[in-house]
Structure 1
Amino acid sequence: MKEAVILAQGAYPTHSYPLQLLHTTQLLICTDGAVHNLIDKEPHVIVGDMDSLSTSLQEKYKDRLVVNKCTETNDLTKAVTYAHEQGIRKITILGATGLRDDHTLANISLLGSYALLMDNVRMVTDYGVFYVFSDSTRSHTPDGYTAIEIPCSPGLPVSFFALNPTMHLQAKGIAYPVEDVVFDAWWKATLNTCTDSSLDLKFTNGPLLVYLPHF
């Protein structure tokens, strides 16, 4: 599966795990404003309206600029769309949180849209990982659910977020059951605890967003 790391213009990663992902990827797609923050790594592609990229860097990287002037989407979405158009179906998003709370919330909420384009989407921060799953792009069990498994660790905090208020979730490997949760608010099914080395999840009417801290 073709994959890429996308670096956005939020807080630059400092944790060892996102930094490892950043420096080992074979395809780094940067939003234009993120390029100024890059340390010891060259961007392979730069996507955006280029309003945040200096003239000198535009000249330096002129062979890898993908200019998109659309005002209806942010630069992160432009980068994800570009990746999809190139046949990439697995992305890791870095630098999408921090600095501005409104951008952080907007970028997290956009994960549901990205899951409709990709087979595998995650947003990695300095504190943990947001995984997002869409039931429209995955196979279903005989009872109509989408089944997924995520590695975790006993005692690790975990939170589930529904991007569709009609979502139904079943989970094994957690301390507190979620089968009867009505997802009419984002906080529902948050602040749970893992009890096993993996989470076995089944859901309908996604997308489903799962947050786990680094372990």
Structure 2
Amino acid sequence: MNKALLFINGEIPKSIPDFNYPYSIISCTDGAYTQYVYKYPIKINYISGDMDSISLPHIPQDIPFIITPDQNKTDFHKALEILINKGIREVDIWGASGKESDHFIGNLSTALFFKNQIKITFHDDYSIFFFTDKKTKLRGVKNKIISLIPFFETRGITTTGLQYPLNNDVLSFATRIGTRNRACLDEISVSYSQGELLIYIGK
């Protein structure tokens, strides 16, 4: 399995990921470790970052540190580079949203940058969200809120199984975006021809 779990330093999750899932790597940035990860009953493979956010009185001696001092990149960006270099092709992210909104927007930008190199799924207490491929099917979503967010104009969007279906439609920032739709079926499909599309699935 080439799937990882990564914690970053956004809003502290109230819910806890499934630590029984057989992740190849479980890691976190230094700020996430300081804020909440050290409280979890899990083994962290390593901590990464520029180490400007480690402030615990007792720095863990049994967890490797990967120091990434490049200030031209965020700790999230550098954490993804590490995972890609380790052969990881899919990652679940916790702690990307909440707190400072500029960090959250920056995290979305980083995810879009790496979209073709690693499959990134964000998780928080309210939803999961990800940049989708041009064709995707979602299962187990009946009655859940589904939002389709274009980056920044997405053409040829067609859906099945949604309360308000789209048929070769265009979504665009500042004109029309696809928030607060709802899944009518347990399995829905979303496809598009041009642009990028972020999908939110409410929990």
User: What residue in structure 2 maps to residue 138 of structure 1?
Assistant: none
Deviation at 1:55, TM superposition (A): 7.7
The runs of 5 or more residues in structure 2 that have no matched partner are: none
Q: As a proportion of its length, which structure holds more strand?
A: 2
Aligned length: 198
**Residue aligning to 1:153:** 141
Q: Structure 1: which 5+ residue stretches go unaligned?
A: 135-145
Q: 1:133: how far off?
A: 2.1
Match of 1:101 in 2: 101
Cα pair distance change 1:199/1:208, threshold 3 Å = same
How many percent of aligned residue pairs carry the same amino acid? 23
More helix by share: 1
TM-score (norm 1): 0.82
Equivalent residue for 2:68? 68
Distance 1:106 1:179, change over 3 A: farther
**In 2, distance between residues paired with 1:10 and 1:177?**
33
Q: What residue identity is the alignment partner of 2:26?
A: L
The worse-fitting range, judged by mean Cα deviation, of 39-48 and 193-202 is 39-48
2:114 counterpart SS class: helix
The answer on 1:176 being equivalent to 2:164 is yes
Indicate the residue corresponding to 2:153 in structure 1. 165
CA contact (8 A) 1:157 1:212 kept: yes
Partner of 2:52: 51
| RMSD of equivalent CA atoms | 2.2
In 2, the alpha carbon distance for the partners of 1:115 and 1:66 equals 23
SS of 1:33's partner is helix
CA apart distance, 1:163: 2.0
| Cα separation, 1, equivalents of 2:92 and 2:56 | 28
> How far, CA to CA, are the matches of 2:20 and 2:105 in structure 1?
26
Stretches of 4+ moved more than 6 A in 1?
none
SS in 2 for 1:108: helix
Q: Does the residue aligned with 2:109 lie in a helix, a strand or coil? A: helix
Distance 1:79 1:6 in 2: 8
Return the alpha-carbon distance in structure 1 between the equivalents of residues 56 and 105 of structure 2.
Answer: 30
Is the partner of 1:182 in helix, strand or coil? strand
TM-score (normalizing by structure 2): 0.86
Could you tell me whether the CA contact under 8 Å between 2:93 and 2:122 is conserved in 1?
A: yes
